[in-house]
Amino acid sequence: MCVPGCQQVVHRALSRRGFFSGAAATGFAATAPGLAIAAPASRFTSVVDLTHTMSPDFPTFLGTPGIRMEKEFDFKKDGFNLYWWRLNEHAGTHMDAPIHFSEGGVTAERIPAQTLVVPLSVVNVTAKAARDSDYLLTREDLAEWEKRHRRLPDNCCVAMHSGWAQHVGSATKYAGKDAAGVLHFPGVSPGAADWMMKERKVVGLAVDTLSLDNGPSKDFKVHSAWLPSGRWGLENVANLDRVPAAGATLVVGLAKVKDATGGPARLLALV
Ligand SMILES: [Zn+2]
């Protein structure tokens, strides 16, 4: 099965010289030099939903409900159903756009669609995270992945699979807040993030926890380096245990809202 329209779009973009001088991509290219779009897998046999269901009960970084829904129209009374949502951009399965941690970074609606369909590389650190809830994915974990699956593909999204998604039903475990108010969940080490930016062409970083930086982080070093470079992040990713470590294509269905610093995303893996 071919990704509808995808091959053609990718082919057109790749065959057009100086793609990143195009108006749509100017902002992105300005902050992420050298990044180009990747040709995604052209064939797949299944679609894996990497998205958690959002609700007011979903655990959040701030500890307050990430969404409030108010029914404006009701089918029985009005003939149709409609809710207003009051939504935190950074709750549930969502994207961190470059602007989230930078002054003039790219906003959600300006991220080129072609860069939202990318190879997905899943790094499994479940055993280490089970032993240490503050585990930080390391440069060595990436080296181990490359030993098994070859070099990280250009323009891919690297996803940390810590196993944390299984705890999503318990805010106590998922956020791991201790008596002193400190959160505990795994994240990515600044060294690994730095290496992915400098030595590989990774465009996206995904985690199955509340934040790219681990729970106890106070300085958000990964957010502060990764996002201002023009790259994006994904948090609270689901079902990473159902996709292969290499070979899947990630489709990031990001809500397109003007000036948004990120937002809810339907993440689909084509396997
Ligand atoms: Zn976020």
Reported confidence tier of residue 27, pLDDT bands at 50, 70, 90: very low
Statement: residue 15 has pLDDT above 50:
no
- Ligand 1 centre distance from Cα of residue 221 (Å): 14
- Ligand 1 centre distance from Cα of residue 8 (Å): 32
What is the predicted pLDDT for the residue at 9?
37
Reported confidence tier of residue 39, pLDDT bands at 50, 70, 90: low
pLDDT digits (tens, 9 = 90+) for 250-266: 999 999 999 999 999 99
15/54: higher pLDDT: 54
Which candidate, 165, 177, 163, 166, places its Cα nearest to that of 131? Answer: 163
69/8: higher pLDDT: 69
CA–CA dist 181, 178 (Å, integer): 5
* Residue in this structure with the two tokens 């970084």, named with its chain if needed: 61
* Residue in this structure with the two tokens 């756009």, named with its chain if needed: 97
Reported confidence tier of residue 41, pLDDT bands at 50, 70, 90: low
Mean pLDDT value of segment 181-199: 98
- Ligand 1 centre distance from Cα of residue 209 (Å): 10
Reported confidence tier of residue 83, pLDDT bands at 50, 70, 90: very high
Statement: residue 90 has pLDDT above 50:
yes
What is the predicted pLDDT for the residue at 16?
35
Handedness of CA 87, 92, 94, 100 (dihedral sign): positive
Contact 208, 158 (CB under 8 A): no
* Residues with a beta carbon under 5 angstroms from ion ligand 1: 90, 96, 235
Mean pLDDT value of segment 173-184: 96
In terms of DSSP bridges, do strands 117-124 and 202-207 run parallel, antiparallel, or are they unpaired? unpaired
The crossing angle, in degrees rounded to 10, of helices 190-198 and 139-149 is: 50
Q: Which two tokens stand for residue 98?
A: 């470059």
pLDDT digits (tens, 9 = 90+) for 42-64: 689 999 999 999 999 999 999 99
What is the predicted pLDDT for the residue at 43?
84
Mean pLDDT value of segment 144-149: 98
Contact 98, 226 (CB under 8 A): no
Q: Which two tokens stand for residue 88?
A: 């935190």
Statement: residue 148 has pLDDT above 90:
yes
In terms of DSSP bridges, do strands 82-87 and 67-73 run parallel, antiparallel, or are they unpaired? antiparallel
- Ligand 1 centre distance from Cα of residue 82 (Å): 27
- Ligand 1 centre distance from Cα of residue 125 (Å): 21
36/20: higher pLDDT: 36
Long-range contacts of 151-154 (CB under 8 A, 24+ apart): 151/200, 152/121, 152/196, 152/200, 152/202, 153/38, 153/119, 153/121, 154/36, 154/38, 154/200, 154/201
Highest mean pLDDT among 4-8, 22-26, 198-202: 198-202
Mean pLDDT value of segment 189-197: 98
What is the predicted pLDDT for the residue at 1?
41
